[in-house]
Homo-oligomer: A and B are copies of this chain.
Amino acid sequence: MTREKRGIEMVDIIHRVGVKGAALDDVYQAVATVDGLAGWWTVDTTGSADVGGVLEFRFPEGGFDMVVLESEPGRSVLWEVVDGPPEWIGTTVRWELKQEGDYVIVLFAHEGWRERVEFMSHCSTKWATFLMSLKQLVETGAGAPAPHDVRISDWH
């Protein structure tokens, strides 16, 4: 969806982390496979990470279903949210990877929010802590996926 089509009110969450001493494929495996995702986002990850498949992420508080729209080894992954909190449905989650020196850079974007609600602020911070969990998983072998995730507030 282009920004023009989306209109003025749509807003995005964006982040950038660098995974030290990693290969592009290590980070790709962490965002493009069920086992990888279970290692840093939520241990209760099931479904198919193939293009056209549906990934089911479950947390103590609820969950999300994502259709995998794109998955290019070592480069990018794109999901569309098809079930979950109403604010999330129809939004997309984009992962772009690139090598910069000793780091694999992860450019993350959760795009297409219809309005800038308080829940979006919560999700922005929560994504950041999960991206740090992804970084730790690849760098050290152990992330902090739910239900062992970092608590940031009363909304968990």
Residue A14 CB within 8 A of the other chain: yes
The answer to whether B131 touches A125, judged by C-beta atoms less than 8 angstroms apart, is yes
In the assembled complex, A129 has its CB within 8 A of some CB on chain B: yes
A69 within 8 A of B: no
Contacts of A105 in B (CB 8 A): 153-154
Indicate if the CB atoms of A11 and B8 lie closer than 8 Å.
no
Question: Closest approach, in angstroms, between the C-beta of A139 and any C-beta of chain B?
Answer: 11
Q: Within 8 Å CB of A15, what residues of B?
A: 121, 124-125, 128
A152 touches B17 (CB 8 A): yes
Determine whether the beta carbon of A154 is less than 8 Å from that of B103: yes
Give Cα distance in the complex from A132 to B129, angstroms: 9
Complex Cα gap A128–B108 (Å): 14
B16 touches A122 (CB 8 A): yes
B121-A153 in contact (CB<8A): no
* Complex Cα gap A129–B17 (Å): 11
Interface residues in A64-107 (C-beta closer than 8 Å to B): 100-103, 105, 107
